[in-house]
Amino acid sequence: MAYLFTSESVSEGHPDKVADQISDALLDNFLAFDPESKVACETLVTTGQVVLAGEVKSKTYLDVQNLAREVINEIGYTKGAYQFSGDSCGVISLIHEQSQDINQGVDRSSKEEQGAGDQGMMFGYATKETANYMPLALDISHKILIELAKLRREGKEIPYLRPDSKSQVTIEYSDDNIPQRIVAIVVSTQHDDFDTDDNTMLAKIKEDIVKILMPRVIAQLPEYVQQLFNDKIVYHINPTGKFVIGGPHGDTGLTGRKIIVDTYGGKGAHGGGAFSGKDPSKVDRSAAYASRHIAKNLVAAGVADEILVQVSYAIGVVEPTSIFVDTYGSSNVELTDGEIAQKVAELFDMRPAAIESRLKLRNPIYKETAAYGHMGKESKTVRKVFESPYSGKVELDVELFTWEKLDYVDKVKQAFGL
């Protein structure tokens, strides 16, 4: 019997994502001026207020209040009507120095012997159902909101859009896990107040989403995905009605509350640790990226059609406590999942320092991860400029989303005889 699966995404203007982007912007600036910075920065945003808290060990000093304002304005919260603006909000910093009890387990005389920054388990996942090896429902959900943000910034075809929005896509699958059709799409978008009555306003928003936004999204998709769209799709557009009050004024935002949006939309698994605001000594982040890198390269090499990789650590301990692989019965090699995991452990050095080095994680590459997912993006090199009233100006060429590179495919094929 066919089954349904759903994933959601949230926009860069969603309160939790505002908090994530501020936390990662601060992290990037610390790393730009001191690559060995240890950072765990949490952000809270609410009506007219931003609270920064956390622990930092760094040689540099930042104007964190100004950096937070820059992020808020860049997202699009620039008007008094939003009750939250980068130019007028209060910013309180409660950031303090990292605990020496934690630091002693991480820093070692030899960089290679760096211990894990915390205990826990991290997961990576990949599937061949999309070109970027991501779950299809999540991939479409992200694309809907990325395109909606473009329309908002263009300000022409849908001029009333505000920054806060959410999307959700439901797909029907066959028993053999092949997508058959898109069943339902949900889009809730914040908007300016209308002069018309609520029913007229909602009808206009629905028409614009279905007739302007969705064709732009569908045009980006490969033909086999376009064929999943049909005239029976149920659209829920702003189903609660009017959505003028939104963003941090409508709902308090916190760093790390959208971990499923950040990863695989409910497919695979999640260890529970958030990413944003954490430097790569925190394996919550670095090992999750490394696990995605492993899973993606294994699927791309043909080891299996779908793979979940789990790794676990003890705080202050160098080697992982376990590596686990689940191919969901989709393996293309004559090995058990346990035997595949053993080969993974031989191919990929999962010590924290080795992960940092292999994926170039001591660079300021994190703000770009903080909206529309940490996984499934294109790896590319960009030039970034950082300026500080205390440390001057730094220009760096950095490689984004290194964990998305298919640079181990040949090694995997050789190891598995493919």
Q: pLDDT of 78-126, one tens digit each?
A: 988 899 999 999 999 999 876 554 455 555 555 666 777 788 999 999 9
CA 370 – CA 12 distance, rounded (Å): 8
Say what the pLDDT of residue 97 is.
79
Say what the pLDDT of residue 112 is.
65
Q: Which residues are annotated as a binding site for K(+)?
A: 42
User: 94 pairs with which residues across the strands?
Assistant: 53
Task: Identify the H or E element spanning 188.
Answer: strand 179-191
CA 383 – CA 362 distance, rounded (Å): 15
Say what the pLDDT of residue 115 is.
73
Say what the pLDDT of residue 98 is.
62
- Looking at every residue in the chain, the average pLDDT score rounds to 94
User: 8 pairs with which residues across the strands?
Assistant: 168
Say what the pLDDT of residue 107 is.
57
Angle between helices 409-416 and 283-301 (to 10 degrees): 60
Q: Which residues are annotated as a binding site for ATP?
A: 14, 164-166, 242-243, 251, 257-258, 274, 278
Phi and psi (nearest 5°) for 365? Answer: -120, 15
Say what the pLDDT of residue 300 is.
98
Say what the pLDDT of residue 219 is.
97
Supply the pTM of this predicted model: 0.95
User: 38 pairs with which residues across the strands?
Assistant: 57
Q: Which residues are annotated as a binding site for L-methionine?
A: 55, 98, 251, 282
CA 287 – CA 116 distance, rounded (Å): 10
Q: Which residues are annotated as a binding site for Mg(2+)?
A: 16
Q: Which domains does the chain have, with CATH numbers?
A: 3-9+138-246 (3.30.300.10), 120-128+267-416 (3.30.300.10)
Say what the pLDDT of residue 398 is.
97
Q: Which residues are annotated as a binding site?
A: 14, 16, 42, 55, 98, 164-166, 242-243, 251, 257-258, 274, 278, 282
In percent, the amount of the chain with pLDDT more than 70 equals 96
Residue 195: which pLDDT band, with cuts at 50, 70 and 90? confident
Say what the pLDDT of residue 198 is.
87
Q: pLDDT of 292-303, one tens digit each?
A: 999 999 999 999
